[in-house]
């Protein structure tokens, strides 16, 4: 058997960035619904006129009223933060090999 191929820093950076993007795409709807559920009660204690009854109700309501695009609001800033994790992972892999 031949030894396993060694990945360079750019390959680690690309792999970490891809993993981060996939993670953002899969979890953004969950974070959006969580945030909306937390914020449906105003600071004064008054509830919104048509509150979400739970996670599934909020998810289906957002999808029905705002479409698939509505579930991905705020995705841009999340994708910008992927670079931080990708750089950390690349640095970790480099330091680990020293």
Q: 65-95: per-residue pLDDT in tens?
A: 999 999 999 999 999 999 999 999 889 988 9
Query: What sections of 8-96 are H helices per DSSP?
Result: 9-39, 55-70, 75-96
Which residue is listed with tokens 């996670």? Answer: 55
Q: What end-to-end distance do the CA atoms of the chain give, in Å?
A: 24
What pLDDT, on a 0 to 100 scale, did the predictor assign at position 45? 64
- Please, are residues 29 and 59 in contact by the beta-carbon 8 Å criterion? yes
Give the model confidence (pLDDT) of 26-67 as tens digits.
999 999 999 999 988 765 566 666 789 999 999 999 999 999
Question: How distant, in Å, are the alpha carbons of 5, 31, 42, 88 from that of 91?
Answer: 19, 28, 43, 5
Place of tokens 């974070």: 31
Q: Which of 36, 90, 44, 87 is nearest to 61 (CA)?
A: 36
């Amino acid at each position: 058997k031949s030894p396993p191929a060694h990945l360079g820093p750019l390959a680690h950076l690309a792999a970490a960035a891809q993993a981060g993007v996939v993670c953002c795409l899969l979890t953004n709807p969950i974070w959006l619904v969580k945030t909306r559920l937390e914020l449906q009660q105003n600071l004064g204690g008054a509830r919104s006129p048509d509150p979400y009854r739970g996670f599934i109700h909020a998810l289906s309501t957002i999808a029905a009223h705002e479409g698939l695009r509505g579930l991905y609001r705020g995705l841009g800033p999340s994708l910008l933060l992927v670079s931080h994790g990708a750089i950390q992972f690349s640095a970790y892999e480099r330091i680990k090999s020293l």
